[in-house]
Every structure is written in structure tokens, then in C-alpha cells.
Amino acid sequence: MKINEHINMALKEDGYKKDITTNLVPLINKCKAIIKIKENSHVYGLKWLKQVFKQVDKKIKFKTYVNDGDYVNKNKIIIDIYGTNHSILKGERVALNYLQAMSGTYDLCKKFQKKVKDKNIKLLHTRKTLPLFRAPLIESCKAAGCNAHRENLSSAVLIKENHLKFMENPNDIINQAIKNNKIVVVEAKTIKFAKTLDQYKINRILLDNFTAAMLRKIVKYKLKSKLEVSGSVNLKNINNFAVKGVDYISIGALTKNIESRDFSLLIV
């Protein structure tokens, strides 16, 4: 979904054209507002924030003091906004919603990456997102260096335990999947099945909810396939899974547990 389409839907959801409260306030043509960050954090989503206001009123202008991806200290003004008071008030909430969620996601990605910075492991985000909010979260993760496990159901083949229950022989579905010329990932719940999967020319074996002990054991087999770890990974335990021989760690918390950052908009 394109950024303009996404923002248009968000503004319609908020009913910005029928803002009852703002319409009670006298129109002031020249108005200034500031957006301030209220905690230490990386900032990301300025492009989306600006586009929200531009869709409300093309004449709105900005003076920006930070760039996307910057780490900013508490109480710093990150952007000035110039326009009518009506336009600023109507776009305020949607703009801040994007900025707070995208900044929180970006910041969390950076925290996870810091934990594995000395290891040759790539971090992935998943499809565990709020419905219709995937596009901004994917952008935030990618900008922070965390790519998608798969962006949607058509971007890669992921054969999970529930798919295999419908097949008498995993050969059938795996061989069909390989013919699609897409990335193929197959989930393994046991070490035995993971070793079986290594005979296929698949891209990754997904080791779901493996314990640290199981991981240390399977990497000793030096399988040909890339190994991806998933399941209940958090900032406190990620180093238990970041063992030598693991190639990827997918983390649902990056997009599922959105830790929004705190921003305020004040008209001055």
C-alpha cells in the first residue's frame, strides 16, 4: 500500500473533515505548532507525519530539527509546523499516531540489534501487526536494519506444522513449493525433523520454540540449510538464541508489541 493511500484511510477513519470541536474555534490563518519528544528515543516517521498534514492542507510548511533515525533526548523540539490552526488541529492525532508507533518500532529494532551486534546474525520482523498498519511498521523495521521474515502471504513460502498436517508426506508440499521460485522456509519442531529437512533445497529451516540446549545441539550438525530461530524471543533472552551457527532470528515483538514513544504537539 502506498503511503498516500495509507494516510488517506487513517484520516478518513479519524473523520478529520468533520472535526466538530475544531470547527467551533475561530480560524487563524497563520499559526505555529511545535512537536516535542517527551522521552529519550530514536525518532522515525517524519515523512509520514509531514504527509498527514500535507493531505489535510497542501499549504502547511515545516522546519525540521532532526532526521529520521536520529537518537534524540527528552524534551527536544523535533519539528515546527506552520499553517492554519484548523489544519494543524485536524491532522494532529493521526500524524502523532504514525510518529509514535514508527519511532517506537525503530527504537526497539535498534535495541535488539545492539544485543547481537558482534554476531553474524540477521534479525527479522514478522507479520504480527495491527491490521492495515503493516506498511509503516515494515518501513520502520527495514530502516533500522531488520528485514521481513515475509511481508505477506504471497512474498514467500512458509510451510508450518499446520500445513504439514494435511499432507501424508512432506515431500509433496516441499517439492511443489520449490517450483514456485520463491523463498521457501519450512518449520521444524524437533531436531530429527530439522535434519530431515536438510535434504531439500530450501532456503531456511525455521526452528520454532527450540530451547537453547536444542539449538546448541543442532548447530553441531552443520546443516547445509540456513537456520532461523523463532518463538518467544525478547531483549532479556535473545543471547540464549544468538548462538554460532544460527543465521536468522525472527522476532514477533518488533511489530506485535508496539512500544509507542511519547510526543506532544503544542500550538505556540
For 27, the domain range is 3-107+259-267
**Number of folded domains that form the chain:** 2
For residues 62 and 21, give the distance between their C-alpha atoms in angstroms, rounded to a whole number.
24
Residues 93 and 164 occupy one common structural domain: no
Residues 7 and 103 occupy one common structural domain: yes
Distances in whole angstroms, Cα of residue 231 to Cα of each of 79, 87, 131: 38, 44, 21
Per-residue pLDDT for the chain (268 aa), expressed as one digit of tens each?
Answer: 789 999 999 999 999 999 999 999 999 999 999 999 999 999 999 999 999 999 999 999 999 999 999 999 999 999 999 999 999 999 999 999 999 999 999 999 999 999 999 899 999 999 999 999 999 999 999 999 999 999 999 999 999 989 988 988 888 899 999 998 899 999 999 999 999 999 999 999 999 999 989 999 999 999 999 999 999 899 999 999 999 999 999 999 999 998 899 999 999 9
Radius of gyration (Cα) for the chain, nearest Å? 23
Query: Among residues 261, 233, 259, 258, which one has the least CA distance to residue 112?
Result: 233
Burial of 130 (0-12, 13-18, 19+ CB in 10 A): exposed
Residues 84 and 144 occupy one common structural domain: no
Residues 174 and 71 occupy one common structural domain: no
Alpha carbons within 13 A on the beta-carbon side of 20? 0
Residues 118 and 198 occupy one common structural domain: yes
Residues 29 and 68 occupy one common structural domain: yes
Residues 48 and 121 occupy one common structural domain: no
pLDDT at res. 42: 98
Q: What is the dihedral sign for C-alpha 166, 170, 174, 176?
A: negative
Residues 247 and 263 occupy one common structural domain: no
For residue 120, the domain's CATH number is 3.20.20.70
Residues 153 and 228 occupy one common structural domain: yes
Residues 248 and 263 occupy one common structural domain: no
Distances in whole angstroms, Cα of residue 226 to Cα of each of 37, 66, 189, 198, 208: 41, 39, 16, 9, 14
For residue 33, the domain's CATH number is 3.90.1170.20
Residues 252 and 263 occupy one common structural domain: no
Q: What is the pTM of this model?
A: 0.94
Residues 124 and 103 occupy one common structural domain: no
